[in-house]
Amino acid sequence: MNEQEINKRRTFAIISHPDAGKTTLTEKLLLFGGQIQVAGAVKSNKIKKSATSDWMEIEKQRGISVSTSVMEFDYNGYKVNILDTPGHQDFCEDTFRTLTAVDSAIIVIDGAKGVEAQTRKLMTVCRMRKTPVIVFINKMDREGRDPFDLLDEVEAELQINVRPLSWPINQGQRFKGVYNIFENNLNLFTPDKQVVTEKVEVDINSEELDNRVGSEDADKLREDLDLINGVYPEFDIDKYLDAEVAPVFFGSALNNFGVQELLDCFVKIAPSPRPTQAEERMIDPTERKFTGFIFKITANIDPNHRSCTAFCKVCSGKFVRNAPYQHIRQGKTVRFSSPTQFMAQKKSTIDEAYPGDIVGLPDNGIFKIGDTLTEGEQLHFKGLPSFSPEMFKYIENADPMKTKQLEKGINQLMDEGVAQLFINQFNGRKLIGTVGQLQFEVIQYRLENEYNALCRWEPVSLYKACWIESDDEAELDAFKKRKYQYMAKDRDGRDVFLADSNYVLQMAQQDFKHIKFHFTSEY
C-alpha cells in the first residue's frame, strides 16, 4: 500500500524572481485541483478575494509573499503538494530551506524580462541538490522577447539544457495560443481569467491549422517546430530526472493559459518522493519506519490562537496521528493529537501522511529548524543552513509594560528562521541579524500585530557575523579577550564574532591560524 501512495505523491516548489507570476500560477494550479472555485486576479479590484496563498497581513498590504505557503490538492489520481516560496530576495533563506523539502521545482520566468538575478541564485541551489526543474515562461499575452532567444538565455544563465514541450503561436496582442509538443495538440487562446481554453487535435501539416490560426502564423509554427526538432534532442525523461535537461512550457498564468498543459505533463514526468540523505545513511521513502524533518516553523497561522506550526516533511514510512515518535535533538518521545495539512490557511486534521507529504505539527516551542523525528533510530538530516547575516540592528523594547510579549515574540519569530538573534557579550544587548532590510520591517510589524509588543531599532555598523570554533583553547581565549567588544553568542550558545569590516575579518583570519571562521551555522 505504501508504495502506491508514494508513487502518487508529487512534492515541488515554485520558484522565481518577484513579479514573474509565481503566486498567480499557484492559484491556477489550485483551480485545476478543484481547491478554489474562483481564481481571483491577485491585483485586480474587481474580485476582492486576495490570493489564497498569501495570508499574512503584511503580504496582503505589499502584494508580495514573505513566507513559504504549503498547499496540497488531488489531480488525476495524483496527490500534489505545492510549496509556494517568497521570490523577494530578502527572504531567500526561507526559499533555500524549502528546496531541501521538495523533489522537484518549477521555475517561473517573465517572458519580457527573461532570467533575473534571484532566479539564478535559486537555480544554483537546485543544481547543488540535483533537483529536476521544469521552466514555465509566463506572460506570453504581453509583448516579450523572441522564444528562441529566451531559451538560449535560460541555457546560458541557468546552466542547464532545455527542451521546449510547448510552443507559443505569436505573442502580445497577436498571441493565438500554444502548440503542445508533449501531446501533439493545439490550444487556442481566449483571454479570459475564468474559463479554461479549448483544445483542438490538429495535424500540424493540415489546412485546418491554417484555418485556425491564419496561414502566416501556421507557416511560422511549422518552421519553428522543424527548427526545434533539429536543434534540440528528443525529450528524455531520465535526463530530466537527473537534472540534466529542463522541459520548457509557455503560457499566461493570469489568463489561465498553458497552465493545464504544464500540470498534465508535470504529474506524468515529475519524480515521486526520492531518498533523503541523513548524516548517518541514506533514507529510502519505501522503508517501513517513519522518519521526517522540520524545514520551517511559522507562528500565528491562525491569529486567534497564538501558536506555532512546525512543517515536517515525511521522508519514509507512514506518519500516524497520536503515534509516539522520537524527537532526536531533545531525546524525548512526542505524540501529535492534531497534525494538519494545508490548503493555504485552511487546514484540516489528518490521521496519516506518507513520504512526500508535508505535515503541520503544533509547536509549543519544542522544535527548531532541522529537527528530526523518527521511530527511535538516531538520525540527523542535514542541509538546512542559516546563512551568515549581513544586516544588523539592536532591538530595543519601546514599551516597558510589554517586556514579556516582546520576549515571546522575538523567540517565536527567531524559531521560524526569519532572522537570527545574537546576544552581545560586551553589553548584553540583543542584536538581530538578517539577510535583507525588509525583514526588519516584517519583524516590527508582526511583533506589534501578533504579539502586541513594540520595538525600536538602533543601527549598528557591522560587516558580518561568523561562527567561530577552535581546537586550540588558548588561542580561542586570546581571540575572545582581544575582540571582547565584538563577541556574541547565538541562541544555541555558540560563539559568534561580529566583524565590523571585511578588513578586520581578514586580519583576524590571518592572525589566528587555528580558529575556524564559519559563514553558515552548519559546521
| pTM confidence score | 0.71
Q: What is the pLDDT of residue 206?
A: 65
Cell of 428: 548584553
The DSSP code sequence of 360-399 is EEEESS---TT-EEESS----B-----BPP-EEEEEEES-
Residue-level pLDDT at 65: 41
Confidence of residue 512 (pLDDT cuts 50, 70, 90): confident
H/E element holding 153? helix 147-158
- Cβ atoms of 28 and 82 within 8 Å: the answer is no
The pLDDT score that the predictor gives to residue 203 is 64
Rounded to the nearest 5 degrees, what angle is found at the Cα of 79, between the Cα atoms of 76 and 84? Answer: 115
Q: Check residue 55 and give its pLDDT.
A: 43
Q: Taking residues 99-128, report their average pLDDT.
A: 81
Instruction: Specify the pLDDT at position 462.
Output: 87
Q: Which helix (H) or strand (E) holds 260?
A: helix 259-269
Rg (CA), the chain: 25
pLDDT of residue 131: 86
Q: What is the pLDDT of residue 46?
A: 34
Position 316 scores a pLDDT of 87
Q: Residue 403 burial (CB < 10 Å; 0-12/13-18/19+)? A: exposed
**256 contact partners, CB below 8 Å, separation of at least 6:** 28, 31, 39, 192, 193, 194, 195, 196, 197
Instruction: Give the per-residue pLDDT at 419.
Output: 80
Compute the average pLDDT of residues 59-80: 65
Give the pLDDT confidence score for residue 302 in this predicted structure. Answer: 52
Dist. CA 475–CA 411, nearest whole Å: 33
Mean pLDDT for the stretch of residues 65-86: 72
Retrieve residue 396's grid coordinates: 530595543
pLDDT per position as a tens digit, 22-32 = 777 877 777 77
Given a contact cutoff of 8 angstroms between Cβ atoms, the answer to whether 150 and 114 are in contact is yes
Amino acid at 18: P
As a whole-number percent, the residues of the chain with pLDDT over 70 amount to: 80
What's the chain's average pLDDT?
78
The mean pLDDT value for 38-52 works out to 40
| pLDDT above 60: residue 523 | no
Question: Is the predicted pLDDT of residue 374 greater than 80, yes or no?
Answer: yes
Burial annotation 61-89 (CB, 10 A radius, 16+ → b, else e): eeebbbbbbbbbbebeebbbbbbbbbbbb
Residue 68 has pLDDT above 50, yes or no: no
Q: Domains of the chain by range and CATH? A: 10-71+87-96+104-269 (3.40.50.300), 276-374 (3.40.50.300), 391-518 (3.30.70.3280)
The full DSSP string for 428-495 is --EEEEESSTHHHHHHHHHHHHHH---EEEEE---SEEEEEEES-HHHHHHHHHHTGGGEEE-TT--E
Name which of 427, 430, 422 is nearest 467 in CA terms. 422
Residue 513 has pLDDT above 80, yes or no: yes
The answer to whether 432 and 443 have CB atoms below 8 angstroms apart is yes
At 217-258, the pLDDT tens digits run: 778 888 888 888 888 888 888 888 888 888 988 888 887 778
Say if residue 276's pLDDT is above 60.
Answer: yes
